[in-house]
Structure 1
Amino acid sequence: MPETPDIPTAWRQLLERVPGTRQGNPLIVEAAHAQPRLRSLYPWPSHGTLKFLRAAPSWDRSDPDDLPFIVCSGPPYKVYSTGYATLLGEAGTPEEAAALVVAHLPTVGTNSNE
């Protein structure tokens, strides 16, 4: 199996739209990358969303998927808690959506260098 890139490499591949890698909505990706707390998390674009993981995903998928994420089919852009359990809010711009995710990140267990 191919090796999963580290967090900075995953962001670089998303921002540069490297062929053969997962791609996300470029506006959402750029807005999320501009947020230091999100930039410290692993970006995981999947099925029209941009999720954030605490570390590069393992192939056995035992890593927790417990952080808020953005549904990229906007505007409005919707931000949900894990598993679509709760709509945390809607945003008119990618920047507002990224800020909404940051506002709902737990303070324990995430990198908080802002």
Structure 2
Amino acid sequence: MSTESVVETTWRQLLERHSDARHGSPGAIDAAFAEPRLRQLFPFLSHGCLTFHRNTEFPWSNDLPFIACTTPYKVYATGYAALLGETESPQEAAALVIAHLPDNCGPAIEGPWPEPGRGPA
């Protein structure tokens, strides 16, 4: 029986490039995992982007900045609302995400994001 949380298991699979994990930028994954504030969030790879969520199941929180794993790395506000910056290194991209996280962000809750107006459990 595993004592890992869903967040820990997902990070481990991404770091190990597990066959069940989606492929993405190894540099961005490693840089994000190295940051304690990002490591407590749920990572999700989709369409070449490494996103972070406050919960582990759909529907996602979808309110945090994310990394587009391109060269240069691009960090966007949620929903591509604004380009927060471009960086040459994944470490700088992770730092830029952290700089734009809300103060009360994390750790991720297990399960779906609560209905609007209810907040996390």
Unaligned 5+ runs, structure 2: 108-121
> In the alignment, does 2:109 pair up with 1:103?
no
> Is 2:13–2:20's contact at 8 Å kept on the other side of the alignment?
no
One of 85, 89, 113 as aligned partner of 2:81 = 85
Unaligned 5+ runs, structure 1: none
Distance (Å, rounded) in 1 between the aligned partners of 2:105 and 2:95: 19
Which residue type is aligned with residue 110 of structure 1? G
Which residue type is aligned with residue 99 of structure 1? A
Q: Percent identity?
A: 54
- Which protein shows a greater Rg? 2
Which residue type is aligned with residue 60 of structure 2? D
Distance (Å, rounded) in 2 between the aligned partners of 1:98 and 1:56: 20
What's the TM-score, normalizing by structure 2? 0.80
Per the TM alignment, residue 23 of structure 1 is displaced from its structure 2 partner at its CA by 2.2
> In the alignment, does 2:65 pair up with 1:68?
yes
Per the TM alignment, residue 108 of structure 1 is displaced from its structure 2 partner at its CA by 2.0
Richer in strand (by share): 2
The more displaced of 19-28 and 6-15 is 19-28
Distance (Å, rounded) in 1 between the aligned partners of 2:79 and 2:49: 12
What's the TM-score, normalizing by structure 1? 0.85
2:111 matched residue in structure 1: none
- What is the aligned-residue RMSD (CA, Å)? 1.2
* 3-state SS of 2:55 partner: coil
